[in-house]
Structures are given as C-alpha cells and as structure tokens.
C-alpha cells in the first residue's frame, strides 16, 4: 500500500493563509504602506507570471501540470531553460513577496519552509519519475539546467 502525500499546492495555500492570519493578528488589516511593501507585491506578481507561463507551456504541450499525473512531454523551453522547477520557484516568490509586502521579517521563514518541503518531499520523486519516463533526455537536461536558479 502506497502512502499518498498531500499535493504541494496545499502546503503553499496553508503557508500563504497562515502568513495573512499572523500579520492580521499582529497589527490588524493594513494596506500596502511603504515602497518595500510594493517591492513585495512585485515579487509576488513575478511569481504569478512564472507560474502562468510555465502552466501555458504544459497545456500547449498537451501534458498535465499536476505532479501526480504522468507527463507526456518534457518541457525545456521558457522558464524551464533556467530552472527545472519554475512553478515551485514561482510559488516561493509569491510567499517571499507576501512576507515583504506584509512587512514581517519572520514571515520569510515561510518560503524557506516551502522550499524545504518541495526540495525534500516532492522534487526527488518527481525527478525519479521523469528519469524513468524520459531517460537520457531528462538526465542530459538535469546536467544543463539547475534545479532552482
């Protein structure tokens, strides 16, 4: 019997919402209040753009974005030229941007936690599956492109 893991997006959502709850509990609801907060919004928007770009490449290739589905094509263009995991990187940028926008340095632990979760729980298994499916093509891709940046 195999043990099913919670999907990565669920970890992201929990961390994202926890940051909001913590921020509200510390100082109440506030609107963006400084240039630094604006830079957090820029980081989050960059993360969203990377995710949408990556997702569009999956869809145009006719393969699923869901990590629990078998991929049918190896994406190596767009953001995948620079990172083997641009969608996780995008989610991390959103968490980092949220922490900066909310103005609480302690919230920067959340992207670190998400990074560790992805790096240890999900990526090794996903890469093993990609090696099984795509063989030498994926192994060569791993040699050329970093896992993160």
Note whether residue 1 is domain-resident. no
Report d(CA 95, CA 17) in Å as an integer: 10
What global pTM score does this model have?
Answer: 0.89
Report d(CA 57, CA 132) in Å as an integer: 22
Note whether residue 45 is domain-resident. yes
Mean pLDDT of the chain, nearest integer = 90
Note whether residue 25 is domain-resident. no
Note whether residue 43 is domain-resident. yes
Contact between residue 62 and residue 125 where contact means Cβ atoms under 8 Å apart: no
| Number of folded domains that form the chain | 1
Structural domain harbouring 139: 34-65+73-144
**Above 50 in pLDDT, residue 2?**
no
Note whether residue 26 is domain-resident. no
Note whether residue 125 is domain-resident. yes
Note whether residue 57 is domain-resident. yes
**pLDDT of 33:** 66
pLDDT in tens, 94-129: 999 999 988 888 889 999 999 999 999 999 999 999
**pLDDT of 85:** 96
Note whether residue 134 is domain-resident. yes
């Amino acid at each position: 019997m195999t043990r099913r893991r919670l999907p990565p997006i669920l970890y992201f959502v929990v961390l994202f919402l926890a940051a909001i709850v913590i921020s509200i509990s510390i100082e109440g609801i506030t609107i963006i209040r400084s240039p630094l907060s604006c830079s957090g919004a820029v980081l989050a928007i960059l993360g969203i753009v990377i995710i949408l770009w990556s997702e569009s490449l999956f869809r145009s290739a006719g393969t699923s974005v869901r990590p629990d589905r078998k991929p049918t094509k190896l994406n190596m263009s767009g953001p995948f030229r620079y990172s083997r995991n641009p969608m996780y990187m995008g989610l991390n940028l959103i968490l980092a941007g949220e922490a900066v926008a909310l103005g609480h340095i302690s919230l920067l632990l959340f992207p670190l936690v998400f990074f560790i979760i992805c790096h240890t729980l999900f990526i090794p298994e996903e890469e093993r599956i990609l090696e099984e499916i795509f063989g030498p093509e994926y192994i060569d891709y791993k040699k050329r492109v970093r896992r993160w940046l």
